[in-house]
Amino acid sequence: MTSKVKINLEYIINCSPKVLYNRLSTASGLTEWFADDVRVRGKRYTFIWDGSEQTAEMTLHKENRLVRFSWLEEEEGSYFEFKITRDELTGDVSLLITDFAEEDEIDETRGLWDSQVADLKHVLGS
């Protein structure tokens, strides 16, 4: 079994942290851009893509700043995280995404996030 590599991505998003946080932390918000459907039961989020399901637990959240989901079926410590930052000088809002991928899947994973964040920007009118 190969270990996964941490990937950090950054995207400028033209909206308020509060609006962005809603799209990152709620079932309805995530369904708009991240998955075909999302079911929530407590802290457990079941993400559905093309009929297949993956379940994660929201293990960390700070309102309007951070959301972390830890995969339940993956190896220990496997998670993805959304962090919202605002540049003090310019006021630009950035979405920082942390994810993990196999060494030979890094480019594919980056491409997938690029596509999903493009959908997010479209939904936000950003």
Q: pLDDT confidence of 10, banded at 50, 70, 90?
A: very high
What's the pLDDT tens digit per position in 68-83?
A: 999 998 767 789 999 9
Q: Kindly give, in sequence order, each residue whose CB lies less than 8 Å from that of residue 112, ignoring residues fewer than 6 positions away.
A: none
The total of other beta-carbon atoms located within 10 Å of residue 90's CB is 8
Quote the mean pLDDT of the chain. 94
- Rounded Cα gap, residues 86 and 115, in angstroms: 22
Taking the C-alpha atoms of residue 57 and residue 107, their distance in angstroms, rounded to an integer, is 26
pTM reported for the whole predicted model: 0.92
Q: What is the mean pLDDT of residues 95-99?
A: 97
| Residue 13's pLDDT band (cuts 50, 70, 90) | very high
Residue 2 pLDDT greater than 80, yes or no: no
For the stretch 29-47, pLDDT in tens is 999 999 999 999 999 999 9
Contacts of 96 (CB under 8 A, 6+ apart): 8, 9, 10, 81, 82, 83, 84, 85
pLDDT band at 126 (very low <50, low <70, confident <90, very high): confident
Residue 78: per-residue pLDDT: 85
Please say whether the beta carbons of 44 and 57 come within 8 A: yes
CA distance 106 to 29: 26
> Per CATH, is 5-124 categorized as 3.40.50.800?
no
